[in-house]
């Protein structure tokens, strides 16, 4: 856990492995990190969906979901899209370099309450990052859950994150995995179209199911509408919200949607919680 | 608890006595602005107690400085050196008004929830509030609408009343008692007539409050006005200067920035404001509050709806600074009154 006497102090972590998930101007780079002070592991504990402020001394920090499941031991993973000042500085780092982690912060997907249920994840682009720990948590506790269905799409096949793992998901018997790209491309064997359409094509049953969706706001909007069409109740639909953050502990003010602080009350919300808060979709 | 009096002309002597054991902050007059600061020889002059109805800048900066170092580091060597203020320091704030003291009790809730904030809380622990009851409130004051009042001593450690030639002092908490004992040689015993004079002043001061707002139902109503064009009549003339938030004793929003000189760096936090465009702008360029309409809505809704939903208390003490110092006369009471009057169309 975070230093409770001072929640602004980050831990230093060393990069053990790093690679690019996707290319381009807004490339996504994944970092596998370990605490410089290994005793942090004695008290560290995070749950699927929780976040951390990741940064560099001298530059600043930004909020990212911890994209590794707590069942993956000995490291934390973060997948960072090159976007602003902090993420550009993070992208310059290589194996052996240090960065800072402050967390875990926020709430989590209630995976314990979901035991005995069918889990459907619907991701788009970098939105797969917060879903990855859910998927891996369910896979590591396979007997406790019914079906696991993974729906994941991106603009082009090159924009799909975690590609090697997707192959695994497709080949393993206990998981159903459907992929999509927005537009037709050569040798693409999966669905072509937007993620909300992929969802309707697969049409998962709402019976005893939980749907978790993360991705661009416009995708979440249409996926949610389609889930409702398929018969999912607002209580069965979960998503994560994001906003600009500085403190990560419900004090600095800016991340609120209505009275909810995304950093403290979220990032995980059920659709039932936010459907009447229009700022959640702003 | 005890009560005392001292001669007003001996005020500097009294502050000098206090300074033997405490770091003393008091309202200082500098270039026409009254702002709390450390009383120092050669520094700005002490504002006369009957010169300021309320300080231009609220004393929130004493517990929540405009810029404050969270920790220091040296690039390349590792290691982080926290800069947490000492909770055992002794700081006295002399002449704080009841509304500004009430504001501390409001933001206490935010700095205390989940992860307590040691920077704010340590300063809070080390600070003794010696309040000064208001005898002549400003035309913009509306503290009586928000559970306060010009002579409310609920959030003070010591309450003072300006009785003309004398100042009456009443200790409210043990912290206040301890402070008064440390300067007891400079204080005289109070008499029943002093107490009577204070009671009269209380009644009179409360009757001088000219503005008010009935807050009943406002926290519930504001979220229903989210998409209402109602906000535009105020935001249209807003300049986005942020003075309403910087001078607000309950505004607590901050930014965190790193500053580096060669290898020596610090991470600091500084006041920020929801009235600025960058405040909520994502790295992608997307901004959930892109115009002054959304930002005005957030300022008012945060104080009068979101904060009470989370903490059970409105984040406003009626000090009136946002009204008094707004360059385009945006008046929060006006906004609130109109919010009550505006009709909400049922969704559907």
Question: Does position B50 have pLDDT exceeding 90, yes or no?
Answer: no
pLDDT band at A1 (very low <50, low <70, confident <90, very high): low
Q: What percentage of residues in chain B have a pLDDT greater than 70?
A: 99
pLDDT in tens, A196-209: 999 999 999 999 99
pLDDT in tens, B142-152: 999 999 999 99
Please tell me chain A's helix, strand, coil percentages from 3-state DSSP, rounded to the nearest 5: 25, 30, 45
Question: Does position A17 have pLDDT exceeding 50, yes or no?
Answer: yes
A279/B288 touch (CB, cutoff 8 Å), yes or no? yes
Interface of B with A in 276-295 (CB under 8 A): 279-284, 288-289, 294
- Spell out the domains of chain A, with CATH numbers in brackets: 11-105 (2.40.30.10), 118-240 (3.40.50.80)
Average pLDDT over residues A250-271: 96
The interface predicted TM-score (ipTM) is 0.93
A60: left (phi over 0), alpha (psi -120 to 50) or beta: left
- Interface check for B217 against chain A (CB to CB < 8 A): the answer is no
Question: Does position B196 have pLDDT exceeding 80, yes or no?
Answer: yes
- CA distance to partner chain A, nearest, from residue B256 (Å): 6
* Identity of the residue in A58, A243, A253 whose CB atom sits nearest the CB atom of B288: A243
pLDDT of residue A282: 84
B255/A256 touch (CB, cutoff 8 Å), yes or no? no
A6/B118 touch (CB, cutoff 8 Å), yes or no? yes
Residues of B in contact with A57 (CB under 8 A): 73, 75, 80, 258, 265, 267
Question: Does position B345 have pLDDT exceeding 80, yes or no?
Answer: no
A57/B114 touch (CB, cutoff 8 Å), yes or no? no
Q: What percentage of residues in chain B have a pLDDT greater than 90?
A: 91
* Identity of the residue in A83, A247, A282 whose CB atom sits nearest the CB atom of B288: A282
Residues of B in contact with A242 (CB under 8 A): 282
Please give the C-alpha separations between residue A99 and each of A36, A57, B84, in angstroms, as whole numbers: 10, 7, 23
pLDDT in tens, B283-318: 989 999 999 999 999 999 999 999 999 999 999 999
pLDDT of residue B319: 97
Question: Does position A4 have pLDDT exceeding 80, yes or no?
Answer: no
Average pLDDT over residues A8-28: 96
Q: E strands along B31-157, which residues?
A: 33-38, 45-46, 67-74, 80-82, 91-96, 127-132
Q: Which own/partner pairs from B179-182 qualify as long-range (CB within 8 Å, at least 24 positions apart)?
A: B179/B18, B179/B21, B179/B22, B179/B92, B179/B128, B179/B130, B180/B2, B180/B4, B182/B17, B182/B18, B182/B20, B182/B21, B182/B22
pLDDT in tens, A183-200: 999 999 999 999 999 999
Q: Quick count: other Cβ atoms within 10 Å of Cβ B339?
A: 22
B258/A60 touch (CB, cutoff 8 Å), yes or no? yes
Residues of A in contact with B70 (CB under 8 A): 8-9
- Work out how many CB contacts closer than 8 A connect A with B: 115
Q: E strands along B75-153, which residues?
A: 80-82, 91-96, 127-132
pLDDT in tens, A65-80: 999 999 999 999 999 9
Question: Does position A122 have pLDDT exceeding 90, yes or no?
Answer: yes
Please say whether the beta carbons of B170 and B1 come within 8 A: yes
pLDDT of residue A258: 96
Residues of A in contact with B80 (CB under 8 A): 9-10, 12, 57
| CB-count burial class (<10 Å; 0-12, 13-18, 19+) for A211 | buried
- CA distance to partner chain A, nearest, from residue B108 (Å): 11
B114/A8 touch (CB, cutoff 8 Å), yes or no? no
pLDDT in tens, A223-260: 999 999 999 999 999 999 999 999 999 999 999 999 99
pLDDT band at B348 (very low <50, low <70, confident <90, very high): very low
CA closest to B290 among chain A residues: A282
A243/B223 touch (CB, cutoff 8 Å), yes or no? no
pLDDT band at B78 (very low <50, low <70, confident <90, very high): confident
pTM: 0.94
A6/B306 touch (CB, cutoff 8 Å), yes or no? no
Residues of A in contact with B307 (CB under 8 A): 259
| Mean pLDDT, chain A, integer | 95
CA closest to B109 among chain A residues: A251
pLDDT of residue B347: 52
Average pLDDT over residues A13-32: 96
pLDDT in tens, B178-189: 999 999 999 999
Lowest mean pLDDT among B50-54, B234-238, B273-277: B50-54
* Identity of the residue in A10, A62, A254 whose CB atom sits nearest the CB atom of B279: A254
Average pLDDT over residues A43-70: 96
In eight-state DSSP terms, residue B345 is P
| CB-count burial class (<10 Å; 0-12, 13-18, 19+) for B224 | middle
Domain boundaries, chain B: 3-207, 218-341
Residues of B in contact with A256 (CB under 8 A): 298, 302, 306
Interface of B with A in 73-92 (CB under 8 A): 73, 75, 78, 80, 82, 84
B252/A83 touch (CB, cutoff 8 Å), yes or no? no
- CA distance to partner chain A, nearest, from residue B307 (Å): 7
Average pLDDT over residues B62-81: 93
B78/A12 touch (CB, cutoff 8 Å), yes or no? yes
pLDDT of residue B52: 83
| Mean pLDDT, chain B, integer | 94
Please say whether the beta carbons of A82 and A66 come within 8 A: no
B283/A62 touch (CB, cutoff 8 Å), yes or no? yes
Q: Which of B226, B271, B277, B283 to mutate to test the interface with A (most CBs of A within 10 A)?
A: B283
Strand partners, B71: B82, B267
pLDDT in tens, B85-143: 999 999 999 999 999 999 999 999 999 998 999 999 999 999 999 999 999 999 999 99
Residues of A in contact with B272 (CB under 8 A): 246, 252-254
Interface of B with A in 241-280 (CB under 8 A): 252-258, 260, 265, 267, 269, 272, 274, 279-280
Nearest Cα neighbor of A81 from A131, A163, A130, A20 is: A20
């Amino acid at each position: 856990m975070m230093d409770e006497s001072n929640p602004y102090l980050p831990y230093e972590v060393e990069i053990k492995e790093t690679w690019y998930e996707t290319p381009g101007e807004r490339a996504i780079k994944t970092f596998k990190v370990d605490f410089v002070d290994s005793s942090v592991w004695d008290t560290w504990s995070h749950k699927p969906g929780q976040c951390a402020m990741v940064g560099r001394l001298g530059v600043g920090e930004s909020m990212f979901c911890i994209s590794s499941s707590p069942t993956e031991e000995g490291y934390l993973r973060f997948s960072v899209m090159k976007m602003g000042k902090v993420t550009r500085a993070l992208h310059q780092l290589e194996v052996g370099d240090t960065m800072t982690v402050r967390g875990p912060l926020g709430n989590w997907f209630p995976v314990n309450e979901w035991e005995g249920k069918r889990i459907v994840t619907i991701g788009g682009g970098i939105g797969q990052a917060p879903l990855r720990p859910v998927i891996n948590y369910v896979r590591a506790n396979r007997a406790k859950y019914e079906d696991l269905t993974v729906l994941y799409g991106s603009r082009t096949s090159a924009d799909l994150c975690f590609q090697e793992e997707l192959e695994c998901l497709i080949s393993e018997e206990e998981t159903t995995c459907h992929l999509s790209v927005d537009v037709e491309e050569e040798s693409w064997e999966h669905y072509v179209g937007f993620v909300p359409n992929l969802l309707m094509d697969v049409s998962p049953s709402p019976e005893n199911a939980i749907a978790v969706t993360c991705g661009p706001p416009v995708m979440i909007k249409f996926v949610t509408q389609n889930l409702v069409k398929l018969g999912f109740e607002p209580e069965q639909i979960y998503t994560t919200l994001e906003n600009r953050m500085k403190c990560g502990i419900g004090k600095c003010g800016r991340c609120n949607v209505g009275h909810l602080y995304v950093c403290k009350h979220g990032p995980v919300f059920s659709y039932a919680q936010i459907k009447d808060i229009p700022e959640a979709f702003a | 608890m005890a009560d005392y009096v001292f001669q007003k002309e001996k005020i500097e002597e009294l502050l000098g006595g206090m300074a033997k054991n405490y770091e003393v902050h008091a309202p200082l007059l500098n270039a026409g602005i009254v702002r709390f600061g450390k009383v120092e020889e050669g520094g700005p002059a002490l504002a006369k107690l009957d010169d300021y109805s309320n300080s231009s800048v609220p004393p929130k900066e004493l517990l929540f400085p405009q810029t404050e170092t969270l920790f220091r580091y040296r690039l390349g060597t590792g290691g982080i050196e926290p800069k947490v203020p000492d909770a055992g320091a002794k700081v006295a704030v002399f002449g704080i008004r009841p509304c500004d003291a009430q504001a501390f009790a409001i933001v206490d809730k935010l700095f205390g929830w989940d992860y307590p904030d040691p920077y704010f809380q340590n300063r809070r622990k080390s600070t003794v509030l010696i309040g000064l009851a208001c005898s002549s409130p400003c035309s913009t004051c509306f503290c009586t609408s928000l559970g306060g009042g010009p002579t409310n001593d609920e959030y003070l450690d010591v309450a003072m009343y300006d009785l003309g030639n004398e100042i009456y002092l009443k200790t409210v908490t043990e912290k206040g008692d301890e402070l008064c004992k440390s300067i007891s040689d400079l204080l005289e015993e109070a008499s029943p007539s002093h107490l009577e004079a204070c009671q009269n002043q209380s009644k009179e001061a409360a009757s001088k409050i000219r503005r008010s707002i009935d807050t009943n139902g406002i926290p519930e109503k504001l979220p229903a006005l989210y998409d209402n064009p109602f906000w535009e009549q105020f935001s249209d003339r807003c300049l986005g200067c942020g003075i309403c938030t910087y001078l607000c004793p309950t505004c607590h929003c901050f930014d965190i920035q790193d500053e580096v000189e060669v290898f020596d760096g610090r991470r600091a936090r500084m006041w920020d404001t929801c009235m600025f465009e960058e405040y909520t702008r994502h790295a992608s360029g997307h901004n959930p509050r892109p115009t002054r309409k959304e930002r005005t809505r957030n300022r008012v809704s945060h104080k009068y709806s979101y904060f009470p939903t989370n903490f059970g208390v409105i984040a406003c003490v009626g000090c009136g600074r946002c009204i008094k110092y707004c360059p385009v006369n945006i008046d929060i009471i006006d906004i609130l009154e109109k919010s009550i009057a505006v009709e909400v169309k049922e969704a559907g």
